[in-house]
Structure 1
Amino acid sequence: MRSPPISRRRRPSRGGSVGLGIAAIAYVGIDYLRHLSPSWHELLQPALWAVLAIAAVIRVPFYKHWSLELRAAVPFILSMIFMLSALLLEMISVRSVTAVLGLDWHNATPPLPDVGQWLLLALNEKLPPILVEIMRARIIGLHHFLMLFIMLGFSVLFNSVEAPGLGLAARYMFTMGIGRLLRAVAFVSTILPSPRPWCASARFQVPRDPHPWAQKYYVPYAKDSNAIRHIIQHDVAYGVGGENVVDFQPNWGSMNFLADFLRPTVSEGASPWYYLLKRAGGGCNDLLYSGHMLVAVLTAMAWTEAYGGYTSVLIWMLVAHSAQREIRERHHYSVDCVVAIYMGVFLWRMTRLFWPIKDNSRYKRLNKLEKVQNGLVQAAKDDDMDRVRKLLEEVGEEVVGGVGEKPKSGAMWLFSGATIFFTIVVVLLAFVLTSDG
């Protein structure tokens, strides 16, 4: 009976390697000790990070796919630049949509009705108290999902996921960059009121009055239904705005054009323009869709595709827990979390169509194996192990081409060391900069 083509056979599951799953659960569990027992948290968290870092460094000399990592380095760097550029544009947009209508609008505009939050409040009255407390618990945050992905990328050193790790990271950052750009376009297009009306007054120093642009095109029509009907009929702005206060103009040199978007106050004008972006955080008015949930979903999709197993199911449960907590604590409306979930799934699936870094060598190897499959089957039937070994060596020589070699040259050792050092620095920066969510 003829065996099925090799490329159609089911790929072996990598979920059987439980080490990565245990490390992920340990990381989330130990980090949650900060709420239960801060003293144990201060003791165990540095110990866990030390164990993970030492284990990764020890595995570096035995890693056999540095050639693949080297090929993925350029896409990785380009993806990082693209993602950072998208984040910069998003931060400018966050500050802009918060400042354009002024603080008075934030204080006076009521939040939108959110059926999702009503449902969660109703469940609080129906579910057992212990379950409600679990749903309220701050088990998982933004920095957890980032760290879980970094752990996934490092796991190539232990053969838990398929190499190259830099290829997986490049796809993750590229997908996140696209998602951030689409998110900025969405929340800039229509400004939605904050689920937390007090947020802007507590966090931002922006003028109380709207920008002159909004004074002309929004203020005259905001509370007058007849005026809105009139502007629809004539398609011409005709109203007179309120008090047209001239905005403060800082001395930012070539970046002065950002003043209309960032609207600094007099006290902020002496600071560089990027100082305002550092204070922007996640903004205050509603940002459709949720950036936190986009990161969570991309991490879950990466785990599901690259690793699988029970840990992926657990991470999806943490995604659901994070979503309901975003709604419960009024960081986002329900629609923001729902849209972020299917946008994350869609974008990850979409990038898979044109992201060959991870699968190129595997597909080439499978194609070559298909060509020699009949010869392998016949040699196995004849119990000719020398023939089997020769055919497999042909596959290795033609397809792998040195991919499975340990770093031997000085340049490859330098690249491997720099990669590990750079990644550990990124881990520390991500942990410090996102620890507050």
Structure 2
Amino acid sequence: MPKLKAKAKRPVLPPPRAGGRRRSFAVGWLGLAAAAYVGVDYLRHLSPAWHGRLQPALWAVLALVTAARAPFYRRWDAELRAAPRFLAALAFMLAAFLCEAISVRFVSTVLGLQWHRSTAPLPDTGQWVLLALNEKLPQTVVDLLRAHIINLHHYLMLFIMLGFSALFGCIKGPGLGIASRYMFTMAVGRLLRAITFLATILPSARPWCAEARYQIPDHPHPWAQKYYAPYASGADVIRRVVKEDMPYAVVQDYPAEYRPEWGQMSFLVDILRPTSGEGPSWYHLLKRASGGCSDLMYSGHMLVAVLTAMAWTEAYGGWVSVAIWLLVVHSAQREIRERHHYSVDCIVAIYVGILLWRMTGFLWSAKETNQSRRLAKLDKVQNRLFRAAKDSDMIEIRSLLNEVEVAGQEKKSFSQRVILSFAAAMIVFTLLCVLLAFTLTSDG
């Protein structure tokens, strides 16, 4: 009787590495920390007393955990190499914000206060839908849709938490890499936004905004006096200017414009249109520009929200990313519901944010770049490797494989003292940026 073949033993899988367990643990805690931050901050509406106790405690825990982890982070050399790109992106973003603030002030004041008072908001079907849903949905659902669950500074903090999570291995480092991509994309989005709302000035969904926020003249800017006001109404007037394609009307008499002396910045007088009661310098005007009082196509708040959601989706994924996208949708309907923006502003901001993030992957990507470099090097030495194998040249094979391995490794060219000094400086600098960002966005 033939012997039965013995069953092959099942291979015993090696036990999981402790590092992998630690990473999974850290990844799970990142999501809980993000949820805790948003939840604790929402307590300001439910229980201000508990909010006053829990928020400082949460901030202290996050700061202590980050500071305790920083000395054990192994990729400070990569962070140091990413620092110039980070600083360049930061400077670009600040310049974009300056251009946007100047543009916001211009479109808010160029047509005068009387135009803001008399021009009706545009019809918005999104507003109609939300009002209709308020009649149909249960009151609990309506209250949830109206709730101020998340605001601009929450999205900024969520991204900062994502960037710092590189210390714990939750996302692919360097953290300054994803921060560079975020700020660069933000800057491009802000510049595109400024170009868009400068091109066509739309009436605000809140007609009282300009009178409540600015001290601007009733009459239009001299440019608008000549090129807009005479041709703003009347079919015959518009038909004639279209036919002649030249300004033909006589400009009415308007009060003279206030022209302060700003030295080298006096060229901004015609753009910012200051008044005597708005402060001594152009900087005071820009500080009060805020969100503007014309409709700014597209929504800057939604751009920040979408970029934060895209960063979490690519770098982290999981249930937290899904929750952030749900919060983005909630923010969009609130922007429309509260008449901060028209529906089109939120819709355009969503797809512009997605497209811009997809286009800036060259600054940082969640894909494993080390493996890509190894494969690229292997592709280069492939013919030499085949030839060495054919000739049984083991020395050449080892040399080529070593080149492939070295190609995937990051270069370490900084001393330990430089790395530690940079780590301390970067943590302090980032925390200062966080405080500054929260201060500047405290009014929404």
- Per-residue deviation at 1:244? 2.7
Match of 2:139 among 129, 141, 150: 129
Q: Distance in 2 between matches of 1:367 and 1:178?
A: 31
Match of 1:259 among 259, 269, 275: 269
Correspondence 1:250 to 2:257 = no
What amino acid maps onto 1:355 in structure 2? L
1:145-224 map, 5 Å: 145-224=155-234
State the Cα deviation string for residues 137-186 of structure 1 (Å, max 9, x = none). 00011110011000000000010000010010001000000000000000
What amino acid maps onto 1:291 in structure 2? G
State the Cα deviation string for residues 201-251 of structure 1 (Å, max 9, x = none). 000011111011101111111121211111111101111233332211101
| CA spacing shift, 1:61–1:391, aligned 2, 3 Å | farther
Match of 1:432 among 419, 427, 439: 439
TM-score normalized with structure 1 length = 0.88
- More relative contact order in 1 or in 2 (CA 8 Å, sep 6+)? 1
Q: Distance in 1 between matches of 2:442 and 2:430?
A: 18
Correspondence 1:273 to 2:282 = yes
Q: Distance in 2 between matches of 1:364 and 1:344?
A: 29
Residue number in structure 1 paired with 2:417: 410
| CA spacing shift, 1:393–1:150, aligned 2, 3 Å | farther
1:307-318 map, 5 Å: 307-318=316-327
Match of 1:298 among 290, 307, 325: 307
Residue number in structure 1 paired with 2:10: none
Where has structure 1 moved over 3 Å in runs of 4 or more? 356-362, 365-373, 390-398
Match of 1:355 among 360, 363, 368: 363
Residue number in structure 2 paired with 1:383: none
Unmatched tracts of structure 1, length 5 or more? 1-11, 374-389
What amino acid maps onto 1:117 in structure 2? Q
Instruction: Note if contact 1:153-1:165 (Cα within 8 Å) is conserved in structure 2.
Output: yes
- Per-residue deviation at 1:396? 5.5
Residue number in structure 2 paired with 1:97: 107
What amino acid maps onto 1:436 in structure 2? D
Unmatched tracts of structure 2, length 5 or more? 1-19, 383-398
Residue number in structure 1 paired with 2:31: 21
Correspondence 1:120 to 2:130 = yes
The count of corresponding residues between Structure 1 and Structure 2 is 405
State the Cα deviation string for residues 358-377 of structure 1 (Å, max 9, x = none). 6543422455689999xxxx
Correspondence 1:345 to 2:364 = no
State the Cα deviation string for residues 378-413 of structure 1 (Å, max 9, x = none). xxxxxxxxxxxx99987664422456x9x9611111
Instruction: Note if contact 1:219-1:242 (Cα within 8 Å) is conserved in structure 2.
Output: no
Matched position secondary structure for 1:70: helix
| CA spacing shift, 1:164–1:246, aligned 2, 3 Å | same
TM-score normalized with structure 2 length = 0.87
Instruction: Note if contact 1:103-1:209 (Cα within 8 Å) is conserved in structure 2.
Output: yes
Q: Distance in 2 between matches of 1:213 and 1:49?
A: 50
| The structure with more radius of gyration | 2
- Give aligned-pair identity as a percent: 61
- Per-residue deviation at 1:259? 0.5
Matched position secondary structure for 1:400: coil
Instruction: Note if contact 1:72-1:357 (Cα within 8 Å) is conserved in structure 2.
Output: no
What amino acid maps onto 2:300 in structure 1? G
Matched position secondary structure for 1:139: coil
Q: CA RMSD in A?
A: 2.3
Residue number in structure 2 paired with 1:364: 373
Q: Distance in 1 between matches of 2:38 and 2:401?
A: 42
Residue number in structure 2 paired with 1:139: 149
Q: Distance in 2 between matches of 1:37 and 1:98?
A: 38
Residue number in structure 1 paired with 2:328: 319
State the Cα deviation string for residues 38-82 of structure 1 (Å, max 9, x = none). 011111111111111111111111111111111110110000000
Q: Distance in 1 between matches of 2:143 and 2:199?
A: 37
| CA spacing shift, 1:356–1:138, aligned 2, 3 Å | closer
Q: Distance in 1 between matches of 2:378 and 2:28?
A: 29
Residue number in structure 2 paired with 1:328: 337
Instruction: Note if contact 1:15-1:308 (Cα within 8 Å) is conserved in structure 2.
Output: no
Q: Distance in 2 between matches of 1:424 and 1:369?
A: 42
Matched position secondary structure for 2:249: coil
| CA spacing shift, 1:330–1:63, aligned 2, 3 Å | same
| CA spacing shift, 1:372–1:238, aligned 2, 3 Å | closer
